[in-house]
Amino acid sequence: MVRAERTGPNRYEVYPPEPVGDHTSLLRRLRCQLPDGEAVLIGFDFPIGLPASYALKAGVTSFRSFLGETAGRSEWHRFYEISDTPSLRQPFFPLPKQHSGNFRRQLAEALGWPDLSALRRRCEQKTTTRKAAECLFFTLGGAQVGAGAIVGWRDVIAPALNEMKLWPFDGDLAGLIATPGVTIAEIYPAEAYAHLGVRIGGGTGRTKTSRACRQEAAAHWLTDFESGPICLSGAARSWVEWGFLAEDDFDAMAGLLSMLQVVSGQRASEAPIASEVRQIEGWILGQTC
């Protein structure tokens, strides 16, 4: 993870990457570090919300209420168990495989759709700057997000559900972070790249797995965030200059810088006003409506 702190009126200093540590205690540790009357905004790189089509079929009308139900002994008690026989209330699929197969189609058909396109949220659709994100429930391959959602929802968000605010489900961002406490939002590094002018990945000739490519793609951050409302600390600058130790460090920094563009007023933070977005699907912080 990468963090920043407000050091003056509308001024934020960015620190270098650091380990998350025990993820189950992360929110508690961050709350304990907050001075009285202060707020923290946390961006997680996993989906926070359900596809509206899935929610309609499963009878879910509120994502927040749904998370509370999965934490109890209800009809959703096996929701987080990855299965090779997926169903509406146990949708994550497949278990790790040593062979290839048409697993995406198998998942779609098991849940009652012809393909997975109907199981993407609005914010996961292809945009002019990035390809479509992987389906929430798919758990195979380098692009999968299902495993992260399972850990994030089950171990991090659900246990603290009554002690934090969830954007955009609980209101507009400005109002949520203007009051003390913890606010959680969804970020997506591939989306953040466009916000930051980063060219890396498919079709760019650069790959995130290469330190030299990360170094080249992020070089302009040294001048973009040298002064103004968002500033890199000396230690953070050294990571950018080196090209980061791994792609996760690079993604965490990109995600944070994009978040800071929003909280400092350089980028809009609105989610679509549609009730299915505000109540069920959620939205990616900083993504254009």
Q: How confident is the model at residue 76 (pLDDT cuts 50, 70, 90)?
A: very high
pLDDT at 109 over 90: yes
Q: Which residues contact 216 (CB under 8 A, 6 or more apart)?
A: 206, 243
- Are 271 and 277 spatial neighbours (Cβ–Cβ below 8 Å)? yes
186 occurs within a structural domain? yes
Helices (H), 85-132: 103-111
**Single pTM value for the model:** 0.95
| Mean pLDDT (whole number) for 207-227 | 97
The secondary element (H helix, E strand) that includes residue 40 is strand 39-44
pLDDT at 73 over 80: no
| CB-CB neighbours of 143 under 10 Å | 11
Handedness of CA 116, 62, 125, 147 (dihedral sign): negative
218 occurs within a structural domain? yes
pLDDT computed for residue 187 by the predictor: 97
212 occurs within a structural domain? yes
57 occurs within a structural domain? yes
Q: Please list the residues that pair with 87 across neighbouring strands.
A: 90
98 occurs within a structural domain? no
Q: Please list the residues that pair with 232 across neighbouring strands.
A: 14
The rounded distance, in Å, linking the Cα atoms of 59 and 150 is 20
Q: Which residues contact 5 (CB under 8 A, 6 or more apart)?
A: 12, 13, 15
Q: Please list the residues that pair with 278 across neighbouring strands.
A: none
Q: Please list the residues that pair with 6 across neighbouring strands.
A: 12
Q: Please list the residues that pair with 284 across neighbouring strands.
A: 186
Give me the number of domains the chain comprises. Answer: 1
pLDDT in tens, 1-27: 999 999 998 899 999 999 999 999 999
Count the helix, strand and coil residues of the chain and give each as a percent rounded to the nearest 5.
Answer: 40, 10, 50
The rounded distance, in Å, linking the Cα atoms of 288 and 127 is 10
The rounded distance, in Å, linking the Cα atoms of 261 and 67 is 29
Greater pLDDT, 73 or 60: 60
pLDDT computed for residue 197 by the predictor: 96
49 occurs within a structural domain? yes
89 occurs within a structural domain? no
161 occurs within a structural domain? yes
| Domain boundaries, position 221 | 1-78+121-289
